[in-house]
Amino acid sequence: MYRVYTRENKRPRTHEERGTPCPFSLRSFPSPAFNISGKWGGGQAAAILFPGPTMGQKFCPVHISLWALLVLWSKAPPQVLSSVIPIDECGTRPVVDEIATGTRIIGGHDAQLGAWPWQVSLQVYHFGIGYVHVCGGSLINHNSVLTAAHCVKRWTDAGFWRAVIGMHHLSKYQTHTIKSRIRAIIIHSDFNHATFENDVSLFKLMESIKFNEYIQPICLPDGPLAITDETPCYISGWGNTMEKGRNRDILQEAQVDIIPIAVCNRIDWYAGMVKKHMLCAGTESGGIDSCQGDSGGPLMCYFPDATKYYLIGITSFGFGCGRPKLPGIYVRTAHYRSWINSQAIQFDKAFAMKIPCVLILSVVCLVIFHNVL
């Protein structure tokens, strides 16, 4: 497996939507930090992209009563997450023996089923084809996936996206595989598509994901972590296995070295392009890297003292794939922990506040409709 380039994997691979045969979508006001031309503003607010109406879709006929609305509200009041990730329930691999973690991996190879239970395939719907894998992502709680902002630049309508969790083979689903539509996409307001600074985005899922042996969230660092030469760090994804090759259907994994920024910024490496909020990972000689289709996927390290994996980076960009002295560049997640927390919690609170408003409006509409009849 090799490194992400600055473009997404566009290879058409059909994925059949197995959801409800009668789709519908939501709409909200556009954010001032984002516009259709793809340029991001410099404000503090993040760009939030809600699902919009899709051509050819029809509304589902929903039969609902005032009594049903009252029962719904009394039995299922909105709940707001108190934190972005569970305190203890993160960064574990229930079906993988960690004793084998220290073994050095040369190049990339097929990952074991359940090896990376937080790995997500983010897919876009193409008319006449179906869902196609575009980017990777990492599950960080029951309803949030962390990925790269540049993944969204061509598909800004959240209604076209879905997240597939617990997936090992792109065209074969396991019994534990979960497919979720996207409620909203939150893009960092300071994302720079030219320099790839602040290349971070948060996908909010339509449903709350139940964890199992094959689906787990990964831990997020609260601050800088002590990474030594002995710390095992990995990348994973379904991207290309060579610079001009094709993507793999089976999830790939590879062990990488974390390279100091000072080394990556040498004149014969990236010549100063790597910013302080980024990470370099790979090898000086090349050959172990991520590539097209791996964007947004995890760079993760295992810490034996905590017996947990931490998401230290998000696959962002690079020159080619697997080239000497041009390792992959990743978003340093520790720098964005407060942004991730604030955006996830603020969105959950805002969405919870909308629920009673929707119910009240529904009741009013039902009363008016009943009186008209």
Active site residues: 150, 199, 295
**In this structure, what are the phi and psi dihedrals at residue 159, rounded to the nearest 5 degrees?**
-65, -20
* Residue 90: closest CA among 141, 15, 128, 34: 141
* Residue 344: closest CA among 119, 41, 142, 134: 142
Maximum C-alpha span of the chain: 77
Tell me, what DSSP letter sits at residue 112?
Answer: P
Name the 3-class secondary structure at 159.
helix
Residue 49 in contact with residue 185, Cβ under 8 Å? yes
* Residue 263: closest CA among 240, 282, 237, 239: 282
Tokens read off for 141: 């709680």
Tokens read off for 159: 């209604």
Measured at the CA of 196, the angle between CA 42 and CA 350, to 5 degrees, comes to 50
**H-helix or E-strand spanning residue 144:** strand 144-147
Name residues whose C-beta falls within 8 Å of residue 181's C-beta, 6 or more positions apart in sequence: 19, 51, 159, 161, 162, 205, 206, 207
Amino acid at 61: P
Compute and round to an integer the Cα radius of gyration of the chain.
Answer: 21
* Residue 285: closest CA among 308, 249, 256: 256
Tokens read off for 53: 């109406």
Residues in the chain: 373
Residue 219 in contact with residue 301, Cβ under 8 Å? no
